[in-house]
A and B are shown apart, each in its own frame.
Chain A
Amino acid sequence: MQPFAYFRPESRGEVFAALREFAPDVRILAGGTDLMVRLRSGRFRPNAVVDVKRVSGWSSQIVETEGVLRVGAGVTMTDLVSAPSVQQHFPALVEAASVVGSVQIRNRATLAGNICNASPAADTAPPLLVYGAVVNVASRAGERQIPLSEFFLGPGRTALAAGELVESIDLPIPVEAAGSAFQRITRRRGVDLATANLSCSVNRAGEVRMAFGAAAPIPLLVTGTAASLEEMTAQARPISDVRGGAAYRQAMLLVMARRALEVSLGRLRQ
């Protein structure tokens, strides 16, 4: 690995100062499960790495406030899947987070890191989009909220500006009855990147929100009804790569959509 300066700030102010001083060759380190791989491969060659895990007020908590479940940026996949509040309201997110990497990865990898990495195949992105997640961002200039549907710009690219830090992710607690589910296909059952993934939710009126990953340059959110799954999945723009062909992905999206809808309808009836 190429040498870099390592900072472990204890306050937000120090984080912003370090981000400013070393911009643009600076990387934020949370769980490190994606960053470390890229540091080693040489794909990222930052001058500085800012480890945010010991910043005072850095939250590894999941807190319910004003109709929103706020997931701190320090929350790992392991924390997420074992939280009763997440299990109760956001089952598709639990299903997605439980299949990210291995136990060892899930013990380090954070939900915030998964979206900041902006992989088109990120497993937590489709359920987060379906649930209407909002990203809380802070910088020297202040704080702002970015709907997740506007957060992804391309593979590895997000709407975060230089000097901005994700502090938490808000999940609006559903006010009306809905059922939701997550599906994915992989080459092997465990510890693989998704060939394609998909999440959907359906309400009593039959309105469907659906999002899919590894099927377009960014995880894509589409809406429709139970009768329009074909039109919805036709909005994907998959590519062919080592994990699957474009035509296969396109065909499987519809299959996954039907499966996810069936599970969602079952949960809606419960």
Chain B
Amino acid sequence: MNLRLTINGKEVAREVAAHHTLLEFLRDDVGLTGTKECCAEGECGACTVLLDGKAVNSCLVLAVETEGSAVTTIEGLEKDGQLDPLQQAFIDKGAVQCGFCIPGMILAAKYLLQENSNPTDAEIKQGLAGNLCRCAGYSRIIDAVREAGRAARQ
């Protein structure tokens, strides 16, 4: 099927098989491999992207469902060579270990801060409950999100 959507601000038009997920489309057809596949059933959050501004598991969305929509992936956060404040905070706080869960973590955190610019630690944990880190580096991830929230409010 023909699919038209906006990915990271750019219009994309491609043929895609109806049974391919948004995750497969992003990685295999568009070549944006920052979005990760792990559990493929909505448990781990590694495939999190923003779909029309909302955090979703791209493994649970068919590519064809996104016709006319706007998708933001980890590749779309940096602007003019400047990292997103969340990306910078993850680096500054040493929140990245193996890194596999981080794109999903950052997009889930992006959505969280967009909805709630001053989350408590409990709210950060709640907001990231759908994102698993096998390195178990959660406390620094929470530090990074808290820091990015603080930086954005200043």
Contact = CB atoms under 8 A, between A and B. Distances in A.
Given A6-B1, A29-B65, A37-B42, A107 B55 contact: yes
A65 interface: no
A191 B60 contact: no
B129 interface: yes
Nearest to A53: B65
B43 A191 contact: yes
A33 B18 CA distance: 17
Contacts of A33: 42, 57, 60
Contact of A32 (B17, B43, B60, B111): B60
Interface residues of A, number: 27
Contacts of A5: 18
Nearest to B48: A104
Contact of A8 (B41, B54, B67): B67
A36 B62 contact: yes
Interface string A32-62: 1100110110000000010101000000000
A141 interface: no
B57 A51 contact: no
B130 interface: yes
B61 A39 contact: no
Contact of B65 (A3, A51, A104, A107): A51
A6 B45 contact: no
A23 interface: no
Most chain B CB atoms below 10 A, which of A2, A49, A105, A190: A105
Contact of A104 (B1, B18, B42, B126): B42
Interface string A151-191: 00000000000000000000000000000000000000011
Nearest to A38: B41
A4 B19 contact: yes
A85 to B, nearest CB: 20
Contacts of B60: 32-33, 36-37, 105, 108
Interface string B111-127: 11000000000000111
Interface in B44-58: 45, 48, 54-57
A191 B19 contact: no
Contact of B54 (A39, A101, A107, A190): A107
B108 A104 contact: yes
Interface of B: 1, 17-21, 40-43, 45, 48, 54-57, 59-62, 64-65, 67, 108, 111-112, 125-127, 129-131
Question: What 3 A-B pairs are tightest by C-beta distance, nearest first?
Answer: A102-B130, A6-B18, A190-B129
Interface of A: 1-6, 8, 29, 32-33, 36-37, 39-40, 49, 51, 53, 78, 101-105, 107-108, 190-191
19 contacts: A3-B17, A3-B18, A6-B19, A32-B60, A32-B62, A37-B41, A39-B19, A40-B40, A49-B62, A102-B129, A102-B130, A103-B55, A103-B108, A103-B111, A104-B42, A105-B130, A107-B55, A190-B125, A190-B130
